[in-house]
Amino acid sequence: MTISDEQLMAYADGELPEEERAAVEAAIANDPALAEQVHAHRALRAQLAEAFSGTLVEPPPARFTELLASTPPSVISLDAHRESREQERARRRWSWPEWGALAASVVAGVAAGSMWLQGRGPIGSEGGALVARGEL
């Protein structure tokens, strides 16, 4: 029988069902490597229990217990919540001024881009060299 790590950990923790426990004990008796793994699991469990023993018995912070005591549970209507979300989405839609600002930004960007692509600035290029250009 093949014993999985999960079964060994459950055995070491004392959480293995009776019907599996006998099979695992028989396998451990026949295989010293399995016995060593169980010993390692139990040693790790003891280390963790010792390391966190103080944390497990300390009470929760007062601010958490006060928060839980002061906030009564409430049941909300799912339909009302969906309605409020739909109203919020409707308010977030863009209005005419926002669309106008977007259109103006696009026009300004296209105009600036076309001027840049035409190269109508005071510096030009001739034969691979930069030259000054403009009316005198």
Give the residue from 63, 61, 59, 3 showing the smallest Cα distance to 31. Answer: 3
How many Cα neighbours within 13 Å face the side chain of 93? 6
User: What pLDDT does 100 receive?
Assistant: 95
56 domain residue, yes or no: yes
30 domain residue, yes or no: yes
15 domain residue, yes or no: yes
d(CA 29, CA 39): 13
Locus of tokens 């966190």: 52
131 domain residue, yes or no: no
SS3 state at 45 = helix
22 domain residue, yes or no: yes
pLDDT (tens digit per residue) in 2-22 = 888 899 999 999 999 998 999
Residue 27, domain extent: 5-65
pLDDT (tens digit per residue) in 24-64 = 999 999 999 999 999 999 999 999 988 988 887 888 899 98
16 domain residue, yes or no: yes
> What is the number of residues in the chain?
136
What pTM was estimated for this model as a whole? Answer: 0.42
Tokens of 38: 């169980």
- Per the structure, the count of domains in the chain is 1
